[in-house]
Homo-oligomer: A and B are copies of this chain.
Amino acid sequence: MTMSPTNLPRRRLLTGSAAALASIGLASWSQGAHAQTAAAKPLPAALGWKDPASLIVHSSSTIETKRSAFGTSVITPSEQLYLRNNLPMPDASIVADRDAWEINIGGVKNPRKLTVRELKSMGVESITMVLQCSGNGRGFFSSKPSGTPWTVGAAGCVVWSGVPVRTVANALGGVAEGMNYLTGTGGEKLPESIDPKSIMVERSVPASAMADALLAWEMNGAPIPLAHGGPLRLIVPGYTGVNNIKYIKQLAFTAQESDAKIMSHGYRITPPGTKSDPSQPSVQEMSVKSWINSPYPDSGTLGVGTVQIHGVAFGGLQGVKSVDVSTDGGKTWQAARFIGPDMGKYAWRQFVLQAKLAAGSHVLVSRATDTGGNVQPETRGENQSGYNNTSWADHAVKLTVA
């Protein structure tokens, strides 16, 4: 199991009051080792507003949340949210006057250009959803696919506000006939002398995804930060991150999928050892998944006693119905309970199981079931690029209780 770098031996320091805890049966933590911070890369200057203590910086455009930093309050704060950009961020000048940003709406009866200012007058909705990179969990593939070795932290649960895509389409006369896809084009500046199709961020999702999609200007109650796609981002709830187009400059209902390389060859479920091609399934809808965030070795060495095992669970397009937790690597299971508010079927739920852990080694795993009855699988689906890892075994937390 690949983890954030915690290779130095952890100190085992009994807390002063550890002995007193026996009276009420509580476990005690020794101090966590902070060795991992020594090896950490710094945040890029443009992301100085992010919280370095909760993040693992893989590169200036690939940053994940530490597993031990996920809290129990449903929402992932923007300062802790992962980042993965396919192209360099546009210049910050595009958020100097956010309301002036323009988007072309195509594939409707009356195609036209609209500013964010105009979109804001047309309607407003708010939706909470799991934003997850297609490659989250890639770090657990034993085949070591190329790409960022994300473990669990290329995901977060985020609130978006914007105008529903269906409202915009209706205002412009409705979707034109024969349009099967909703295709979004990012506004990143492309290098000249390269075929734009080979590098541009343009993705298509089924037109039916319009039902809950937003053109969003707000994330977690504030204007969307540039790094996360502000001033305007296409939000397609239940679909992996790449389908949520940043700096969106064109949204079109189209007859065919985009022929940009990121769509035709990128993000495909490619058999191991082969090359990607457009006939392979595209990485789009997410599937039921969960993982445990605490206890986790980052927090120190655990003493014997009662612990609150907590984590997150979500169901892709269907919402999560239940979560089972095992402390013996999946031999036996107990039903966890959900805590906190239900923010809708696209949000994750926080689950908790109270358990007593005896001295020795433990393998903690969680297994979620969605409202359609789909159960999170034990093993991952092998694929060349390490996408869509929902294996509960891969997401195990291995602990030693002293």
Do A118 and B77 form a contact, CB below 8 Å, given A124-B72, A126-B72, A126-B350?
no
| Nearest Cβ on chain B to A294's Cβ, whole angstroms | 9
| Contact of A17 with B118 in the complex, beta carbons under 8 Å | yes
A112 / chain B contacts, CB cutoff of 8 Å: 20
| Contact of A222 with B77 in the complex, beta carbons under 8 Å | yes
| Contact of A341 with B350 in the complex, beta carbons under 8 Å | no
A120 / chain B contacts, CB cutoff of 8 Å: 308
Q: A159 touches which one: B21, B24, B74, B222 (CB < 8 A)?
A: B74
A140 / chain B contacts, CB cutoff of 8 Å: none
Chain B residue with the shortest CB-CB distance to A75: B221
Query: Does residue A160 face the partner (Cβ distance < 8 Å to B)?
Result: yes
In angstroms, Cα B342 to Cα A338, docked, is: 16
| Contact of B343 with A341 in the complex, beta carbons under 8 Å | yes
Q: A71 touches which one: B79, B118, B221 (CB < 8 A)?
A: B221
| Contact of A76 with B341 in the complex, beta carbons under 8 Å | no
In angstroms, Cα B26 to Cα A112, docked, is: 14
A26 / chain B contacts, CB cutoff of 8 Å: 118, 121-122
| Contact of B121 with A161 in the complex, beta carbons under 8 Å | no
Query: Does residue A54 face the partner (Cβ distance < 8 Å to B)?
Result: yes
Query: Does residue A80 face the partner (Cβ distance < 8 Å to B)?
Result: yes
In angstroms, Cα B160 to Cα A99, docked, is: 33
| Contact of B80 with A77 in the complex, beta carbons under 8 Å | no
For chain A, the bracket of interface size reads 35 or more
Query: Does residue A177 face the partner (Cβ distance < 8 Å to B)?
Result: no
In angstroms, Cα B16 to Cα A97, docked, is: 14
Per the 8 Å Cβ criterion, residues 172-228 of A in contact with B are 172, 218-222
| Contact of A340 with B74 in the complex, beta carbons under 8 Å | no
A73 / chain B contacts, CB cutoff of 8 Å: 126, 159-161, 218-221
A77 / chain B contacts, CB cutoff of 8 Å: 77-78, 220-222
A75 / chain B contacts, CB cutoff of 8 Å: 75, 159, 220-221
Name 19 A/B residue pairs within 8 A (Cβ), A-sorted: A15-B117, A24-B172, A26-B121, A28-B117, A31-B97, A70-B221, A72-B161, A72-B218, A73-B220, A77-B78, A77-B221, A80-B221, A121-B305, A124-B339, A126-B341, A128-B340, A159-B341, A161-B340, A343-B343
Measuring CB to CB, which residues of chain A are less than 8 angstroms from any residue of chain B?
A: 15, 17, 20-21, 24, 26-29, 31, 51, 54, 70-80, 97, 99-100, 112-113, 115, 117-118, 120-128, 159-161, 171-172, 218-222, 305-308, 310, 339-344, 347, 350, 352, 354
Given contacts A121-B308, A124-B339, A127-B340, 7 further A-B contacts (CB under 8 A): A28-B117, A71-B221, A72-B126, A75-B75, A123-B354, A124-B352, A126-B341
